Amino acid sequence: MKKYKYFLLCILTCIFLFFSSNNTYAADTSSLEINSPSVILIERNTGNILYEKNSKAVRFPASTTKIMTAILALENCNLDDVVRVSYSAIQRIPSGYTIADLKVDEELTVEQLLHLLLIPSASDAANALAEHIGGSIENFAEMMNAKAKEIGCENTHFTNPDGVHDENHTSTAYDLALMANYAMNNSTFKSIVSKASYVLYPTNINTTERYFRTTNSLLNTASDYYYEDAIGIKTGFTTPAGNCLVAAAKVDDMECILTILGAEQNEDGTSQRFLEARELFDFAFGNYTYKNIKFKSDVVTTITVKGATSDTKTLNLELSDKINAFIDKEDLDTNFEPTIALNENIKAPILKGDKLGTATYTIEGVNYTVDLVASNDVYKSNMPIIIGIILVFVFLICLKLLLNKKGKSKKNYRIKKSKNKNRF
């Protein structure tokens, strides 16, 4: 019975520890008033989750879907590839969805279509790209799902490239953040989604210029929701999905990605998604930053080197590079202590700059590891050689004395024996 109670106590302890530890590293969020049903805010470089609310709940993504469409276009096409718009790419779009009013047989480059896809959120551009890459919408949807799994999405299933409502077309705030984080590594994608407007110049069909504005009010300087540090990314809306947003903002070295799904209009008619996006970005940049907690050549520890000369045996180990860490602003004055791992059997001679170990600083759940190097040359001591020579010299002297003693003993023995013989 006692063994059973002990076993049960161990299980309960493990469960408590499991649920009390996660990868969310956030300052006090009690002041935030976030009403959107599904939200996630991450810091890009570390992957730390700064705020999360039902981020893995399965929901309709609407036009945030187009992030994945852009990823596949960038990875399967050249920007100057020419795409001919088909009749099916236009006619399959239900009434009420955003289009760029492309015409049948109109020819545009992949780069032009990407701008139409990501800035005004044109569904006809999405379909044109999908048919060009996959041969059909159905084949392209399979490519989308395969790529989503490759990125690490676990609860995403696409049926189309533009986010037209379908009961089987679903994702999560968490998965969309993964897609956005992946896409933002592409400089072309990052450049396009940061633009507030786009001009489509005359094509083979249309002889006039067409002007388009972004659907992302965070980027629009004329909007009440304009956010100076915003750098993208994509909006979405359908009645079943609600107002959706995948946004990014950057201050100095800190870059954040935010996903909001299922937002509504506030009672006063203001946009819940954009107001909450501003609030969450302010929270992130107000509470966190990047700081050089250590600099190159900072001395971390001092060791005594075996076999070294007396004036070089005490050796400072210094950092080979600076450490620019993601940090809670409350810890700006904290002196972080590292975990040090030294090489085995460190002995002279050592050259300045030789790697002799590592120092690891753990901050906000992230490990920053930097090599520890010798701050100066360490010379091998000649003392063992001198001692060895002295010992050999002493040994030879002792051996000679021993041999001389033995020689005298033998001589004395012969003399004594001779005297005894004469006596007889």
Q: Which residues are catalytic?
A: 63, 66, 121
Alpha-helical (H) ranges within 201-312 are: 272-287
Running DSSP on this structure, what letter comes out for residue 316? E
Cβ 310 vs Cβ 381: under 8 Å: yes
| Length in residues, the chain | 424
Residues 6+ apart with CB under 8 A from 253: 45, 290, 324
Residue pair 179/218 in contact (Cβ under 8 Å)? The answer is: no
Cα dist. 398→15, 393, 405, 407 in Å?
74, 9, 10, 14
**Contact assessment for residue 307 and residue 381, using Cβ atoms and an 8 Å cutoff:** yes
Alpha carbon distance 87, 122 (integer Å): 15
Give me the phi and psi of 336, to 5 degrees please.
-75, 135
Tokens of 394: 């002493």
Distance between CA atoms of residues 395 and 310, nearest Å: 27
Give the largest Cα separation in the chain, rounded: 147
Name the token pair of 195.
């633009």
* Helix residue ranges per DSSP H, 36-109: 66-76, 87-91
Separation CA 36–CA 260 (nearest Å) = 7
List, as one string, the DSSP characters of 148-175.
Answer: HHHHT-SS-B-SSSS----TT-BB-HHH
Residue 51 tokens read as 């705020």
Is the separation of the CB atoms in 182 and 246 below 8 Å? Answer: no
Which of 246, 204, 209, 242 has its CA nearest to residue 118?
Answer: 246
Cβ pair 126, 164 in contact under 8 A? no
- Reported as type and span, the H/E element at residue 367 is strand 366-374
CA pair distance 125, 102, nearest whole angstrom:
8
Q: Which of 222, 217, 221 is nearest to 233 (CA)?
A: 217
